[in-house]
Amino acid sequence: MKLHFLGTAAAEGFPAMFCRCEHCARARQAGGRNIRTRSSVIIDDILKVDFPPDTLHHVLRDGIDLGLVEDLFITHTHLDHLRAEDLAMRLPVYAHGLEHPLRIYGHDAVVRKCREAVGRPDASRLQLSRIVPFQTIDTGTAKVTALPANHDPDETCLLFLIEKDGQRLFYGHDTGLLPDETWAWLERTSLDAAILDCTNGHLPFTGGHLNIEAVLEIRNRLRNNGTLAKDGRVIVTHFSHNIGLLYDDLKGIFDPEQIVVAYDGMRLNL
């Protein structure tokens, strides 16, 4: 399973769009892996999680053929995870030479937001499907199970267990500490890797996002109950500029824990 991290920031980006704080100034000056856009991942070039407003930038920066993507799973409707209006760019006039529809999966609010943006488009271009927690979708190349997140009490936010080519990946953001029902489901399976929210860094735990302490707590529980394979990998992502931690700072914290710090454009083979 090949993971391609397109963006690794929280909603405001890092450095943040309008911000003039010392953390953003340091990131702008340092450049490189300290420049983070809104979060998304592509798996094996054909399965994408989330559709942020930076998607066109990701395509141009990394030379991505987005026409290859067959399945798009949306975690929730927050602006950094779903720019539904840009889905119209897959419709006739805007896009040519496409060989298959893009199948989009999300809960009620995701489907509603996409319908508001693109109506009921030609099914040869876009297909919208409503999914619910604990439902498993067989895409033909992967099996994806939607799991409840602990993020926005006004929305059914989802996490995903992605099974492909004999490997299992837990896509675990945006969320705070995992709900009991999500733990109960995870503890019946095994994981080769887990991608975890680290929005808050050293800042206090807020409930809807994780900090470093909470990441380590989840990693330890996954290990101790045998859910995470002995050589399984944990990757942290979705960082806020408010944490004041640049890439090397995060590496200094997580390398001793054998946890991978994601950065924009990172490719990782499981």
Phi and psi angles of residue 113, each rounded to the nearest 5 degrees, phi first? -65, -40
Under 8 Å between Cβ of 162 and 265: no
At 3, is the secondary structure helix, strand, or coil?
A: strand
d(CA 87, CA 77): 14
pLDDT tens readout for residues 190-208: 999 999 999 999 998 778 9
Quickly state the pLDDT bin for 154 (edges 50, 70, 90). very high
Domain total of the chain = 1
pLDDT of amino acid 207: 81
138: domain CATH number? 3.60.15.10
- What would you report as the CA-atom Rg of the chain, rounded to the nearest whole angstrom? 18
Record the pTM.
0.97
pLDDT tens readout for residues 209-256: 999 999 999 999 999 999 999 999 999 999 999 999 999 999 999 999
- Measured CA distances, 246 to 26, 82, 156, 263 (Å): 8, 26, 32, 11
Higher pLDDT, 121 or 268: 268
pLDDT of amino acid 216: 98
Amino acid, single-letter form, for residue 108: D
What is the β-pairing status of strands 102-106 and 71-73? parallel
DSSP 91-158: STTT--S--SPEEEEE-HHHHHHHHHHH-S--TTTEEEEE--TT-EEE-SS-EEEEEE-SS-TTS--E
Residue 121 has pLDDT above 90, yes or no: no
Q: What is the mean pLDDT of residues 69-86?
A: 98
d(CA 55, CA 58): 5
pLDDT of amino acid 122: 87
Domain of 164, in residue numbers = 2-269
Half-sphere exposure of 191 (CA within 13 A, CB side): 30
Quickly state the pLDDT bin for 170 (edges 50, 70, 90). very high
Strand partners, 36: 14
